[in-house]
A and B are shown apart, each in its own frame.
Chain A
Amino acid sequence: MEATGTRTIREASKRYQAGVMKYAQMGYWEADYQPADTDVLAMFRITPQEGVDPVEAAAAVAGESSTATWTVVWTDRLTACEAYRAKAYKVEPVPGSPGQYFAYIAYDLDLFEPGSIANLTASIIGNVFGFKPLKALRLEDMRLPIAYVKTFDGPPTGIVVERERLDKFGRPLLGATVKPKLGLSGKNYGRVVYEALQGGLDFTKDDENINSQPFMHWRDRFLYCMEAVNRAQAATGEIKGTYLNITAATMEDMYERAEFAKELGSVIVMIDLVIGYTAIQSMAKWCRKNDMILHLHRAGHSTYTRQKTHGISFRVISKWMRLAGVDHIHAGTVVGKLEGDPNSVQGFYNVLRETHNPVDLQRGLFFEQDWGGLRKVLPVASGGIHAGQMHQLLSYLGEDVVLQFGGGTIGHPMGIAAGATANRVALEAMVLARNEGRDIWNEGPEILAQAARHCTPLKAALDTWGEVSFDYASTDTPDFVPTPTAA
């Protein structure tokens, strides 16, 4: 795609004349640019204002996310400015969405500080999202060159080591968020943890907004929760954990809470996405130093990931968080109560769990991504899921995932421990059947009914929730659908 006025002005005396010129003319559009293996690549969905040429809009995004300002500055000439300019190199219409374009932009590696998500994002999403000539802008995907990936430490524990540490293999892990999320005293809170863990869950979890409130201070919560964890370990002979949320107002507070969790013998601590990228990287560093698993709740992400025209795709957040170094991240359930198209969610999971991602437009992956030896993040599926969906969850999400049944455990008619047992039995029965070669997608309900014959809690769970589903259209769906090919 090329329009008039998009050619770079090469002659220096004209190029650096004081005044305003088009971004494309300044050198932020290069139709024949071949991205280098070391370039950071970004793909934006741009919606230009009426009358704004899409190529010029793409060049403006490249300019404003790298070296440009609104007018020509002679000080460019004191630098190797041609190398430092980001280059938009491809603009194409979004299939089925008139007025929207995919713009591909390449950035030189030296534009970014090694190992800093804060620096990477300050460029890529720093200024450009409020840019007036655009109606809307969305960062759809990024390719991080292996040279840049290698400057990050990544997850402190990772899927493989977490499983070895917990001695849990071959099945999804099970968790539950303590409910009600606000208001319980420390003692009552620990009761929920104990019941859920000794009933069969691997993990319980603080909710994103449980920090240190008047009804329950953090030290109290930690003490009661660790009593519950240790009692449950004694009752089952199995390693258990509870994500102690150490999110707080300052890093000093967070470190204090993390140290206390360590002192009490917790295997895992938890933070919220809202603490910010630098705080996340700091806690990842602390966790690596202290052999701690780091759970990240993606609190707040839907404010910018959900709408397709403006914001950041969650697949990009997933990539940033794998670099930043978290061990768990909430990444969608497909079948639960929260937003999540199956293909998009599988795209997020692949980003978190694979060593290498091929281009996969159907799942929203626009670039090939090599993760080198960076550890893998365990995705967490949480929100409105129950035992009756076990065959769907295992089919969609695979086995390297934490399935979190909050209401689906605590709301069980026979009590919390029974709710936990129901989930664990449903899970193990489904994995067993899958491994035996049965078609769990179609035979799932039958497999569950069979397992319920030796497990009254599972029968009660199926009777209560068997039919519950959340069928709403997703807003964040891939733009490419599979083209049927002739058989």
Chain B
Amino acid sequence: MRLTQGTFSFLPDLSDEQIRAQIEYCLTNGWAVSLEHTDDPHPRNTYWEMYGNPMFDLKDAAGIMAELQACRKTFPRHYIKLNAFDSTRGVESLRLSFIAQRPAQEPGFMLLREESKGRTQRYTLRAYATDRPEGQRY
């Protein structure tokens, strides 16, 4: 399966040149770029690990690309996403968030069912990868 979280997951994986163009767009808008990574891509896993703080003061796309390369090197088999944070009053949230690295093998999710009364079912989603302990998942 292909995890389709993030703004551009239906396109072929973005090249570094394409990622850099998106970073330029974020910087032009005055947004702070940040990197996060995880080996638990459950859709309700809100808190991926932060790779440092949001880079509020880094206004240079090359510098952010260097951070991304470093993150990739440290976590070569994790999902990595690049976020852009807009601190404008009334937004104060992300304006862009896309996957900038994904593992070669994505085993996907198992849907567990528990039959309940009146034909209702309780659903639970579990990533196959998280059956294994942290560090050995991808």
Contact = CB atoms under 8 A, between A and B. Distances in A.
Interface of A: 160, 163-164, 167, 169-171, 200, 223, 226-227, 230-231, 233-239, 263-265, 355, 373, 376, 421, 424-425, 428-429, 431-432, 435-437, 451, 454
A237 B3 contact: yes
B46 A424 contact: no
Contacts of A237: 1, 3-5, 41-43, 108-109, 127
B119 interface: yes
Given A237-B109, A263-B120, A425 B11 contact: yes
Contacts of B12: 454
A200 B8 CA distance: 12
A170 B43 contact: no
Contact of A432 (B8, B92, B109, B127): B8
B2 to A, nearest CB: 8
A239 B4 contact: no
A238 B7 contact: no
Interface string B67-82: 0000000000000000
Contacts of B21: 435-437
Contacts of B111: 230-231, 233-234
A424 B93 contact: no
B58 interface: no
Among A163, A223, A230, A265, max chain B CB count under 10 A is at: A230
Contacts of A425: 10-11
Interface in B1-34: 1, 3-5, 7-12, 14, 18, 21-22, 25
A251 B111 CA distance: 35
B44 interface: yes
Given A424-B10, A429-B11, A170 B108 contact: no
Nearest to A424: B10
B43 to A, nearest CB: 5
Interface in B113-138: 119-121, 123, 125, 127
A231 B97 CA distance: 24
B11 A234 contact: no
Contacts of A226: 121, 123
Nearest to B14: A432
Contacts of A265: 123
A350 to B, nearest CB: 13
A170 B119 CA distance: 38
23 contacts: A167-B43, A167-B46, A167-B97, A169-B96, A170-B84, A170-B94, A223-B119, A223-B120, A230-B123, A234-B109, A237-B3, A237-B127, A239-B43, A376-B90, A425-B11, A428-B9, A428-B10, A429-B11, A431-B7, A432-B8, A432-B11, A435-B25, A435-B96
A422 to B, nearest CB: 10
A437 B12 CA distance: 19
Contact of B4 (A200, A223, A429, A432): A200
Contacts of A264: 120
B66 interface: no
Interface string B83-95: 1100001111111
Question: Most B CB atoms within 10 A — which of A170, A171, A237, A263?
Answer: A237
Contact of A160 (B3, B5, B44, B92): B92
Nearest to A234: B111
A428 B11 contact: yes
Interface of B: 1, 3-5, 7-12, 14, 18, 21-22, 25, 41-44, 46, 83-84, 89-98, 108-111, 119-121, 123, 125, 127
Given A170-B97, A231-B111, A355-B90, 18 more contacts: A160-B93, A167-B5, A167-B97, A169-B93, A170-B95, A223-B119, A226-B123, A233-B43, A233-B111, A235-B109, A236-B4, A237-B42, A238-B43, A239-B44, A264-B120, A425-B10, A431-B8, A432-B14
Nearest to A227: B121
Contact of A355 (B89, B93, B98, B119): B89
Nearest to B44: A239
A223 B121 CA distance: 8
The 3 A-B residue pairs whose C-beta atoms are closest, nearest first, are A170-B96, A234-B111, A435-B25
A129 B127 CA distance: 60
Contacts of A435: 21-22, 25, 96
A268 to B, nearest CB: 15
A53 B1 CA distance: 71
A235 B98 CA distance: 19
A77 to B, nearest CB: 47
A432 B10 contact: no
Question: Residue among A231, A233, A264 with the most chain B CB within 10 A?
Answer: A233
A163 B86 CA distance: 14
B125 A233 contact: yes
B1 A169 contact: no
Contacts of B93: 160, 163-164, 169
B120 A169 contact: no
A427 to B, nearest CB: 8
Contacts of B109: 233-235, 237
A451 to B, nearest CB: 7
A373 B89 CA distance: 9
Q: By CB atoms of chain B within 10 A, which of A164, A171, A226 has the most? A: A171
Contact of A169 (B11, B94, B121): B94
Nearest to B46: A167
B88 to A, nearest CB: 9
B102 to A, nearest CB: 11
Contacts of A429: 11
A437 B23 CA distance: 12
